[in-house]
Amino acid sequence: MRITVLFDLDDTLIGNNMDAFLKVYLKELSQFIPNIAPQKFINDLLTATGKMAANQSPTSTLEEVFDQAFYPAIGQAKEELGEKIHHFYEQIFPTFKYLTQPRPEAISLVESIMQKGYEVVIATNPLFPKMATLHRLNWAGLPADRYSFEIITTYEDFHFAKPNPAYFAEILARLGCPSNPVVMIGNSWEDDIIPAEKLGLPTFWLNGAHQANSAAPRHCLSQTGQLADIPAWLDSIAGQAVDLPALQPDALLAALIATPAAFDFYKRKLTDQHWQISPLENSWSLLEITCHLRDTEVEIYSPRLQKLITEENPYFASIDPRDWAEIRSYRSQDWRLNLEQFVIERLNSLQQLSSLPAGYWQRSGHHAEMGPITLLSLVHAIVKHDQEHLNQANQLFKTINRPAV
């Protein structure tokens, strides 16, 4: 069975002590930008980086969050510094290679994994621009133009950062919610292991035996060890059932917010014409998927959530939305408006769910076809419904972007 492998980058695929690296990086960048006191530049950059790490908006990329915090603070427009910053990452940043150490065993590991047909994602904390991440991959001996990584997470495209479990949920959403096992490999307990475990991913804690033990529970398939131990670990996972996300409130909330983030990515990458494309006669376009998500969110899921939260043992009639696409002429609707309305409704639901006491997740009701349900099982059903259509959207995106032969 295929496995999707998420790799952290720094101190996982390449030796890079981030504390030492950041010290040099911040010093050089602050001195490279004119007319701003270096310490003020560093302080404002770190504050803006903190804003990225805390972002919970599925419609704002981390780059946008950074820009909104950083450039007003230093009193300069991004357009004024754009060429200078681009030059820094193009010419100065590559000189930091001496701070890192390649790991030949990591290169061999990635190559052997790819030879088995496994998907590989570079799941590095997306707080750097793409150019900086590509340089680090080059230093690792894993250049992106030679290795077919499914995703490389950078601040231009991603909405959430480590250690937010939504970061890992966004990766899954962008991958189309694969049904095969998905695993995370990294060296940081706080940034790589804990949030991935919260979502339900089996994890491999690299060099974890040399770090402080934690009492936090881990997936039954998770392991700790060295790079050399990973192939056997992956072999033990192949064929195992890994249902994502975990049936826990934090995991489900992360999955719920990842769906609008994935569609925001498609919004930025595709044209109006692309949203109308349906490759097969009876298949949906992205427009129709978006209309369906909006209608089911507004007319089915949000009202049911509200009733379960506010009423005692409510009854839910069965609603069949399968004919809505034709009856409501989805193909003639505005995808932007539908997406906006879906996001608003989803965020309203998330705000309400996030503030609930733990006991509310077991509040129960009765569905005409499903029988007894709880708030937890209803949210899980919403997530599974999202996954079905995220998979459709991912297949459409791949079809649209497939190179012409």
* Type and span of the H or E element at 53: helix 38-54
Residue 209 has pLDDT above 80, yes or no: no
pLDDT-derived band of residue 221, with 50, 70 and 90 as boundaries? very high
Strand 315-316 relative to strand 364-367, pairing: parallel
Number of Cβ atoms within 10 Å of the Cβ of 366: 12
Question: Mean pLDDT across the stretch 95-109?
Answer: 98
Q: What is each CA distance from 48 to 69, 82, 105, 121, 355, in whole angstroms?
A: 5, 17, 35, 26, 26
pLDDT at 201: 98
CATH architecture observed for domain 1-247: 3-Layer(aba) Sandwich (3.40)
Residue 165 tokens, joined: 């479990």
pLDDT-derived band of residue 34, with 50, 70 and 90 as boundaries? confident
Question: Mean pLDDT across the stretch 138-142?
Answer: 98
Question: Mean pLDDT across the stretch 203-212?
Answer: 74
Q: What is each CA distance from 394 to 135, 173, 225, in whole angstroms?
A: 28, 8, 34
Q: What is the DSSP string of 154-209?
A: -TTT-S--TT-HHHHHHHHHHTT--SS-EEEEES-IIIIIHHHHHHT--EEEETGG
pLDDT-derived band of residue 403, with 50, 70 and 90 as boundaries? low
Residue 26 tokens, joined: 């911040």
pLDDT at 279: 81
Strand 371-374 relative to strand 151-152, pairing: unpaired
What are the residue boundaries of the structural domains of the chain, listed by start? Answer: 1-247, 270-401
* Type and span of the H or E element at 371: strand 371-374
The CATH homologous superfamily for domain 270-401 is: dinb family like domain (1.20.120.450)
pLDDT at 303: 97
Residue 241 has pLDDT above 90, yes or no: no
